[in-house]
Amino acid sequence: MNKIDLNDTTSERTINTKEDSKNNFLINLKELDIIENKIQNNIHKIINKSNELERLYIQQRNYKENIGIKETFHELEISLLQQRKFKDNLVNQKNLLEEQKKLRFEFKGLREDIHALNIEIKEISNLKHQLEDYEKQIQLVNLSLDKIENCEKKYEDEIISLKNQIKNHENKINLLRKEGNSTSLSLSVKSLISHYDRALQEIANEEDLIYKKQIEELFLDLKKQQIKHKNAYEYKDKLKNMKYKMINTLKLLDIKNKTLQNKQNQLLNIEKTGQINNDKLAKIKDTNYDEVLYKSLTEQHKKIKFEYEKILELEKNIQNIPIIKSELTFLQDSEVKYTEKKISISHQLEKKK
């Protein structure tokens, strides 16, 4: 059985222990280096945060010193808004008054037009009655024309009848003369016929005169009827022309009547618009617009606006103070922890030397 060499084992253990100690030392040394870097970085961050916090405290003081700018700016804005409102009211009032003036002018014109149209349209009823009268007169003229034409026909027939009677009478006399000239009759009979022939001739002449006189009288009456006929036709044409003119006049008046209704509707619309404008004018109370004051306020507003925006920026920045303080506290706490760890590692390294 082989014996274990205790000296060799102890030697190996010693070597291993030294090796482990060396490795641990190197690890601790490296860790110390890392901690020191962290401490340096942390110190740099603390300095930056401290400087940032200091700047914010300075901004906070500036903010408190200039906080009145906000109030001044808001007061200026209120004054400007008020003046703008006054200006808008004044402009609206002016526009409404101009519109009312225009509406009054249109209203007056429409009233005059409506008055004139009413006078013209009043005649519609009378014109319709006149048109009916023309129709009746035309009917009467037509009846007269029929009567005249009948008279003309009667006179013409009578003239023809008289002319036929004269012709028949002449034919009878001529026949008697032929018989009187006959050789078969005795001288005494011929003498008697000759005597009657003279008597008949005298009667025929008298009848011819009577017939001719009657014919002349009939011709005169016929001529009178023809003149009446002509006059009646002319009067009828005149009535027709007057009737057509009357119809055209009524058509024009009908158009004017529609125009009248349109103008009356326009008049009502103007009255409604005018009332609406009056209501709007009654609601406009403040018109104390001061152009000089408005310009002055505008200039002041422009000047202070930059300062106001700076104040807002400061206000926004100083809201970060609690956050920066918290971050700085965290960094300071980290600094303490890193330092404690550094001390601990340093002690360990001292022991291992």
- Name the burial class of residue 330, with classes exposed (0-12), middle (13-18) and buried (19+) by CB atoms within 10 angstroms of its CB: middle
Within a 10 A sphere around the Cβ of 297, how many other Cβ atoms?
A: 21
Res 196: pLDDT? 56
CA distances from 187 to 183, 192, 196, 198, 332 (A): 9, 8, 14, 16, 196
Say if CB 341 and CB 35 are below 8 A apart: yes
Res 6: pLDDT? 47
Q: Which domains does the chain have, with CATH numbers?
A: 66-319 (1.10.287.2610)
Q: 3-class SS at 181? A: coil
Res 248: pLDDT? 82
- Percentage, residues of the chain above pLDDT 90: 9
CA distances from 34 to 27, 129, 332, 341 (A): 11, 125, 18, 11
Distance separating alpha carbons of residues 66 and 88, to the nearest angstrom: 33
Res 168: pLDDT? 79
Element spanning 147, H or E: helix 68-180
Res 193: pLDDT? 55
Distance separating alpha carbons of residues 31 and 342, to the nearest angstrom: 9
Res 189: pLDDT? 53
Regions of the chain short of the pLDDT cut 50: 1-7, 183, 185
> Would you state the structure tokens that stand for residue 90, as one six-digit string?
């004044």
Res 21: pLDDT? 62
Q: Cα-Cα-Cα-Cα dihedral of 302, 304, 310, 314, to 10°? A: -150
Res 2: pLDDT? 47
The pTM of the full predicted model, rounded to 2 decimals, is: 0.44
Distance separating alpha carbons of residues 298 and 80, to the nearest angstrom: 7
Instruction: For residue 52, give the nearest of 328, 332, 334, 311 by alpha carbon.
Output: 328
Average pLDDT, the chain: 77
The full length of the chain comes to: 353
Distance separating alpha carbons of residues 223 and 206, to the nearest angstrom: 25
Res 14: pLDDT? 57
pLDDT tens-digit series, residues 199-228? 556 666 666 666 677 667 777 776 777 777
pLDDT tens-digit series, residues 250-263? 888 888 888 889 99
